[in-house]
């Protein structure tokens, strides 16, 4: 019944998403000396989207520009090698989004979505900068020490362009987070020529978007805080069997404070709330094996496995205590395996298999998704037309066995207007694609 109702409303509205996007960038590299060089990149991206949904019609336009510059150098400290890098990053984007009434119910069946009156009209500007420094110091012949530091500042400005009246509150405003300083400390030790042990402790953060801070009355929720966390990791990496088999094993714990979760208040609206503390325990294993490698052909396989045990350590939402529950939107297990084939003539191909375990959709853990498998295939041909121009032709087939799965889930969805909650967006059935790319190196 729930599935039928969701399908009916989207079918009547003939819902879809149409988007155009692009990315453009340039990099500049200069060597000042044999031990110091600079790499600077400038980049720009855009996305235009139009998405009719049963509850409204969304129109988006995003333009972003940024620059990143790094200095990389080498020196000696107490006659031991020291590698270092420092630099900065600036980013700015303009995000314009409008919503309109969808009047499909007012027209004969089969008409599809019809744009009505404007419901909202926002322009959001985001700015941030990062300053960073990292160094790797050869403490001894087999031991390397890593130290890093990152400073970030993020700010937003919201311009409400919707007609202001007695019933419409002006949501315009500025929002700025405090500067966040994130340190990093790591150590790596060789136990043999091909195997090493490593461990690191690092601090990180994830600032929230301005739209996530908006309350239903249009005011900015100044009580929201950016996510911050400490990561503790230990593992080993190396190779064996004449370097044909490469492996990587890591066990980690990530303690996050002020994790942002969503509380849905309407069919396409939610407010962000901080979830107290969460604990992310995980295991990651990867194996890569080269079966054949000669002048004409290379055949290799890869296998990756991830185990996730992510929980709410402390999370009380009004009268609901979700402490100890599984974290929503995170699969319990992920398994990837595949084979890559590459020839010196230019032909290449790969096949990959992916398993995604079930994941909770609600904070109460009353509902979980089903696990699913996907298999994809790709073949292509690439060739250097000259020293600066590279050609790549390819064709691929996704979801070969036409698996039914949820490509995106909506956390803590609620039903409104007598309709059942929409918890997910279905994934694509089996589909194919083809493309051509030309890469020119200046």
pLDDT digits (tens, 9 = 90+) for 218-250: 456 667 778 889 999 999 999 999 899 999 999
Which residues have C-beta within 8 Å of that of residue 87, sequence separation ≥ 6?
A: 68, 69, 70, 71, 131, 132
Tell me the whole-structure pTM to 2 decimals: 0.72
102 close to 52: Cβ distance less than 8 angstroms: yes
pLDDT band of 274, cuts 50, 70, 90: confident
pLDDT in tens, 153-204: 888 887 777 765 555 566 677 777 788 899 999 999 999 989 999 999 999 8
Strands 115-138 and 260-266: unpaired
Residue 93 reports pLDDT greater than 80: yes
Which domains, ranges and CATH numbers included, belong to the chain?
2-440 (2.40.170.20)
Per-residue pLDDT tens for 31-42? 999 999 999 999
Average pLDDT, the chain: 86
- Sequence-distant contacts of 163-171: CB under 8 A, at least 24 apart: 169/217, 169/218, 169/219, 170/218, 171/122, 171/214, 171/218, 171/219, 171/220
Q: Which own/partner contact pairs does 130-136 have at CB distance under 8 Å and 24+ positions apart? A: 130/88, 130/89, 131/87, 131/88, 132/85, 132/86, 132/87, 132/88, 132/89, 133/84, 133/85, 133/86, 134/84, 134/85, 134/86, 134/184, 135/82, 135/83, 135/84, 135/85, 136/82, 136/83, 136/84
The pLDDT, as a whole number, for residue 13 is: 77
Distance, C-alpha 13 to centroid of its chain:
30
Phi, psi of 365 (to 5 degrees): 65, 25
Asked which of 35-39, 73-77, 184-188, 264-268 is least confident by mean pLDDT, the reply is: 264-268
In this model, does residue 211 exceed pLDDT 90?
A: no
pLDDT at 86 (0 to 100):
96
Amino acid 10: pLDDT: 67
pLDDT at 208 over 90: no
Please determine, for residue 111, whether its predicted confidence score (pLDDT) is greater than 50.
yes
The number of residues in the chain equals 442
pLDDT reading at 4 higher than 90 = no
Per-residue pLDDT tens digits for 324-379: 999 998 999 999 999 999 999 999 999 999 999 999 998 899 999 999 999 999 99
Sequence-distant (≥ 6) Cβ neighbours of residue 292 within 8 angstroms = 298, 299
pLDDT-based confidence at residue 413 (cuts at 50, 70, 90):
confident
């Amino acid at each position: 019944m729930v599935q039928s109702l969701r399908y009916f409303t989207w079918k009547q509205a003939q819902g879809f998403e149409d988007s155009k996007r692009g990315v453009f960038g340039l990099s500049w590299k200069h060597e000042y000396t044999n031990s110091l060089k600079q790499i600077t990149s400038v980049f720009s991206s855009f996305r235009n989207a139009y998405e009719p949904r049963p509850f409204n019609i969304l129109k988006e336009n995003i333009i972003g520009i940024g620059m990143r510059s790094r200095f990389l150098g080498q020196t000696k400290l107490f006659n031991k090698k020291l590698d270092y890098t420092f630099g900065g990053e600036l980013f700015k984007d303009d995000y314009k989004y409008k919503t309109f009434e969808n009047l499909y119910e007012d027209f004969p069946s089969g008409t599809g979505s019809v744009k009505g009156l404007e419901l909202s009209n926002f322009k959001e500007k985001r700015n941030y900068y990062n300053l960073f420094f990292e160094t790797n110091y050869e403490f001894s012949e087999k031991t390397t020490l890593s130290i890093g530091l990152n400073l970030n500042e993020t700010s937003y400005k919201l311009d409400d362009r919707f007609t202001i009246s007695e019933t419409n509150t002006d949501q315009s405003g500025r929002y700025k987070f405090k500067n966040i300083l994130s340190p990093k400390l790591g150590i790596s030790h060789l136990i043999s020529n091909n195997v090493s042990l490593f461990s690191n402790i690092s601090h990180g953060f994830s600032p929230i978007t301005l739209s996530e801070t908006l309350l239903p009355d249009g005011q900015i929720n100044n009580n929201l805080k950016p996510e911050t966390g400490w990561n503790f990791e230990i593992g080993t990496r190396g190779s064996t069997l004449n370097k044909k088999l490469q492996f990587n094993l890591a066990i980690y714990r990530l303690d996050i404070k002020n994790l942002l979760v969503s509380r849905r208040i309407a069919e396409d609206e939610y407010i962000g709330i901080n979830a107290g503390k969460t604990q992310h325990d995980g295991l990651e294993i990867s194996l890569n094996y080269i079966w054949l490698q000669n002048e004409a052909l290379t055949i290799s396989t890869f296998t990756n496995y991830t185990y996730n045990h992510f929980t709410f350590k402390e999370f009380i939402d009004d009268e609901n205590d979700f402490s100890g529950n599984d974290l929503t939107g995170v699969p319990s297990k992920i398994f990837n395996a595949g084979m890559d084939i590459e020839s010196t003539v230019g032909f290449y191909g790969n096949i990959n298999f992916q398993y995604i375990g079930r994941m909770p959709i609600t904070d109460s853990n009353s509902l979980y998704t089903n696990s699913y498998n996907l298999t994809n295939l790709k073949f292509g041909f690439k060739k250097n037309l000259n020293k600066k121009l590279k050609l790549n032709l390819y064709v691929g087939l996704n979801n070969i066995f036409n698996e039914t799965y949820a490509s995106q889930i909506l956390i803590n969805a609620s039903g409104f207007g007598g309709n059942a909650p929409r918890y997910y967006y279905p994934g694509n059935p089996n589909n194919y694609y083809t493309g051509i790319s030309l890469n020119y190196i200046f």
